Amino acid sequence: KGHLLAALYDRPEGFPREGKPAHRAKAAITGGRASVDFGDLAPGSYAVAVLHDENDNGELDSNWVKIPKEGFGMSRFEKLKMSAPSFEDSKIEVKGGEQTVAVKIHYVL
């Protein structure tokens, strides 16, 4: 249920939850998978943040101690840690042409 919300950042400021991403996308989840296309991007460094918005309210729901109640993930963020990775830790290099980046979704609760 719900949708995948994806945000593409081209600078560290505000990554992964604050600030303005360079691009946003929304996709239906089918068979536990979703895919988004950010179109033609200029070569450079980017980081991706995704949210499984289970209740379609457009935000990451969390409990009273700020533990996420919905799935989330960032590019190059394979292991769940106590804090979100930095832009530097999550960045991917886009060189032009089509590029696929898989993002693992983490569910805490």
Query: What confidence tens digit (pLDDT) does each residue in 49-100 have?
Result: 999 999 999 999 999 999 999 999 999 998 888 888 999 999 999 998 889 9
Q: How far apart are CA 53 and CA 24, in angstroms?
A: 14
CA separation, residue 49 to residues 29, 41, 59, 64 (Å): 16, 16, 12, 22
In-domain check, residue 109: no
Fill in the DSSP letter of residue 48: E
In-domain check, residue 100: no
Total domain count, the chain: 1
pLDDT tens profile 21-41? 999 999 999 999 999 999 999
Q: How far apart are CA 1 and CA 53, in angstroms?
A: 8
In-domain check, residue 103: no
Q: Which domain holds residue 76?
A: 3-94
In-domain check, residue 85: yes
Mean residue pLDDT across the chain: 94
